[in-house]
Amino acid sequence: MAKSPATPMVTVKDFSISFGKKKIIDRLSFEVNRGEVFGFLGSNGSGKTTTIRSLLGIYGADSGQLLIDGKTFSVDSDIKLGYLPEERGLYKKESVIDTMVYFGQLKGMAKADAKQWSLDYLKKVDLGDKATTRLDKLSGGQQQKIQVGITVMNDPELLILDEPTKGFDPVNRRLLMDIIDEHRRGGATVIFVTHQMEEVEKLCDRIILLKNGKAEAYGTIKDVKNKFGGASLDDIFVKIYDNKDEVNHA
């Protein structure tokens, strides 16, 4: 699946961005290797979503480089991207199948393929009888399943999930975790934006911890734990965001 094995899937180098006078990200640098699950951690307002939006070209950076597969991302890129944004929604007055097929086509799938994939997926997630139902007639949990389906329907090489479990019930959380795992095993690179440490420990190969637009920690989970004296990720998170002075930079 990887097109240029030597190039990291994502490269962020000296990235800075401000909104008005407020500096959101200050010279941030990190890389995401191909095929890994990368945890992008930080408290609310630490700049995680801004970094992802900048990486995807939704925001423009003040300075620095944000590359996917060695190139600045654009909708014309040949990279297959699956993005589940933090702020998510669907065309509520359209039917499930029409919405899924539309997004499938926007992601480059043929209409027939998008329809077949969608019908198969709906059966898989117990929504086989809801294909022609309007989205606003579905429960919140059912809509979440549709959103996850739309995110992965083009078999993405890079899966970016921004707070993916936010608002998910346990059943959908499990479904999402299974899907992430399935794609990782298929060779996809996954960026997992969250502050749920339990999920991070279970899924991620490497992580970055962001605070006030700067990286507080970056590396494998083991490296980060060692750096903070072997504490659990939960403890490290609390220490960093509650009282930085208590953190033991071992």
Partner 1 sequence: MHNLDTVFKFEIIRTLKKKTFWIMALSFPVIIGFIFVVVFFSNQATNEAAKSVGDQKFTVEVTDKSDHISPNILKSLKAKEIKDKHQGIADVKTGKIDAYFYYPPDIKQQNVEVYANDVGLFDNSRYQSTAEQMLTASAASKAGVEFTAILQGQVNFSSTTYKDGAEYNGFKQLIAPGLFLVLFYILIIMFGNQMLTSTTEEKENRVIEMILTTIKPRTLIIGKILSLLVLALIQIIITLIPVVIAFIFLRENIGLPELDLSNIPLDPARIAIGAVLFVFSFLLFTGLLVAIGAATPTAKEAGGFFGVVMVLIFGPLYAVTLFVSSPEAMLVKILSFFPLTAPIPLLLRNSIGNLDPAEAVLGIAILAVSAILALGIAIRMFRFGALEYSKRISLKSLFPSKKS
Minimum CB separation from partner 1 for residue 170, in Å?
Answer: 23
Among candidates 166, 200, 179, 219, which has minimal Cα distance to 82? 179
- Confirm or reject binding of residue 248 to partner 1 (CB under 8 A): no
Q: Which stretch binds partner 1 (CB under 8 A): 29-37, 60-68, 181-189, 220-228?
A: 60-68
Token pair, residue 239, equals: 């220490």
Residue 235 per-residue DSSP state: H
- What's the min distance (Å) between Cβ of 147 and partner 1? 8
The pairing of beta strand 37-42 with beta strand 206-211? parallel
Of residues 42 and 156, the one with the C-beta less far from partner 1 = 156
CA distances from 74 to 68, 71, 92, 201 (A): 10, 9, 27, 32
- Which residue stretch of 54-62, 186-194, 198-206, 241-249 sits at the interface with partner 1 (rule: CB under 8 A)? 54-62
Beta-carbon contacts of residue 32 (< 8 Å; ≥ 6 apart): 8, 9, 10, 38, 189, 191, 206
Q: How far is the CB of 58 from partner 1 (least distance, A)?
A: 5
> Which of 7, 26, 43, 94 touches partner 1 by CB under 8 A?
94
Of 61 and 240, which has the nearer Cβ to partner 1?
61
Q: Is 88 in the site for partner 1 (CB under 8 A)?
A: yes
Which residues between 148 and 207 bind partner 1 (CB under 8 A)?
150
Residue 83 φ then ψ, to 5°: -130, 120
Which of 81, 179, 204, 224 is the binder for partner 1 (CB under 8 A)?
Answer: 81
